[in-house]
């Protein structure tokens, strides 16, 4: 329905907005209960070496299974968990769970955990990470914390937290690299060990020469600075082949493996053969 706004401007009256707000409040309450009831679990997506596809590390990705059996994507609930602050508690559970698994995977170079902007504003985060590592006897060097450029853009407390995390000895990876603010500038101010080149750049391969030039330049800069580069969202053999040609040594994506339950990673480590889709 359309309503006449006070200034004579025609605005759309949206009954679905109220509905959406109510849904969000319900979701927030459900999430709190889900944490107590153990409805979250982690999947682990292999990060592989190019060109052979040997398993190098894993990235943990959270899932929420409702009592109905429906599995909810993090894209749908992480923003709500951030708004309500529940991400701090949920994030601590994720770190502890990932570290517990990392302890059982000594042959795996690294286990990565995503940390959201709101978590970086919590000055206690480095202590939470250090406690999870020592609880499970995992050396800091085997944990990678994935942050986004946007979360640390502007410096302040988030940047201070990242510096404290780095001082612990954990690796810092810049996720979705190239899509946020100040991608390159951040490499000067923020302690970074790895960049994860966003899927959108991988999707651009085989397009214009300009697109390939960007993909090449990103790994060129990173390697010169001594950073690892991981190409994200690799879905085809052709993309993998081209990325290797352009100088990429590590990749992640459905072409190699989907996010998998921990038991499937156990199997891959037992076999120690290329993680194939």
Q: In whole angstroms, what is the distance from residue 85 CA to residue 79 CA?
A: 10
Question: Hey, which residues between 195 and 234 contact ligand C2E (CB under 6 A)?
Answer: 233-234
DSSP string of 61-122?
EEEEE-TTSPEEPHHHHHHHHHHHSHHHHHHHHHHHHHHHHHHH-TTSSEEEEE--HHHHT-
How many residues in the chain?
277
State yes or no: residue 144 binds Mg ion (CB under 5 A). Answer: no
Please identify which residue in 50, 61, 174, 251 interacts with ligand C2E, judged by CB under 6 A.
61
Question: Hey, which residues between 134 and 193 contact ligand C2E (CB under 6 A)?
Answer: 146, 175-176
Cβ count near 8 (within 10 Å): 6
Taking CB under 5 A as the rule, which mask of x and - marks residues 188-227 in contact with Mg ion?
Answer: --------x-------------------------------
Q: In whole angstroms, what is the distance from residue 46 CA to residue 257 CA?
A: 6
CB of 62 to ligand C2E, least distance (A): 4
CB of 112 to Mg ion, least distance (A): 7
State yes or no: residue 13 binds ligand C2E (CB under 6 A). Answer: no
CA atoms within 13 A on the CB side of 270: 6
Please identify which residue in 30, 56, 122, 176 interacts with Mg ion, judged by CB under 5 A.
176
**The Cα angle at residue 156 between residues 152 and 162, in degrees rounded to 5:** 50
State yes or no: residue 114 binds Mg ion (CB under 5 A). Answer: yes
| Residues at the contact surface with ligand C2E, assessed by CB under 6 A | 45, 60-62, 73-75, 78, 94, 114-116, 146, 175-176, 233-235, 252-254, 259
């Amino acid at each position: 329905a359309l309503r006449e706004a006070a200034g004579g401007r025609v605005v759309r009256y949206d009954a679905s907005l109220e509905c959406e707000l109510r849904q969000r409040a319900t979701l927030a309450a459900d999430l709190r209960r889900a944490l107590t009831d153990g409805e979250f679990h982690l999947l682990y997506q292999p990060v592989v070496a190019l060109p052979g596809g040997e398993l190098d590390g894993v990235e943990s990705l959270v899932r929420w299974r409702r009592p109905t059996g429906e599995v909810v994507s993090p894209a749908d609930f992480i923003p709500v968990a951030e708004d309500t602050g529940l991400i701090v508690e949920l994030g601590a559970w994720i770190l502890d769970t990932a570290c517990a698994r990392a302890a059982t995977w000594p042959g795996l170079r690294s286990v990565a955990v995503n940390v959201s902007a709101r978590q970086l504003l919590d000055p206690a985060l480095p202590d939470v990470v250090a406690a999870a590592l020592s609880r499970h006897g995992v050396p800091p060097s085997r944990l990678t914390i994935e942050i986004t450029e946007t979360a640390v853009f502007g410096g302040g407390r988030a940047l201070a937290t990242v510096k404290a995390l780095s001082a612990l000895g954990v690796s810092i990876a810049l996720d979705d690299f190239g899509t946020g603010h100040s991608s390159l500038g951040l490499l000067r101010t923020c302690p970074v060990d790895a960049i994860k080149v966003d899927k959108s750049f991988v999707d651009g391969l085989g397009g214009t020469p300009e697109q390939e030039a960007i993909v090449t330049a990103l790994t060129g800069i990173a390697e010169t600075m001594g950073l690892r580069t991981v190409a994200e969202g690799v879905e085809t053999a052709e993309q993998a082949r081209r990325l290797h040609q352009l100088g990429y040594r590590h990749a992640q994506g459905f072409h190699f493996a989907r996010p998998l339950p921990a038991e499937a990673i156990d199997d891959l480590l037992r076999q120690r053969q290329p993680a194939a889709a």
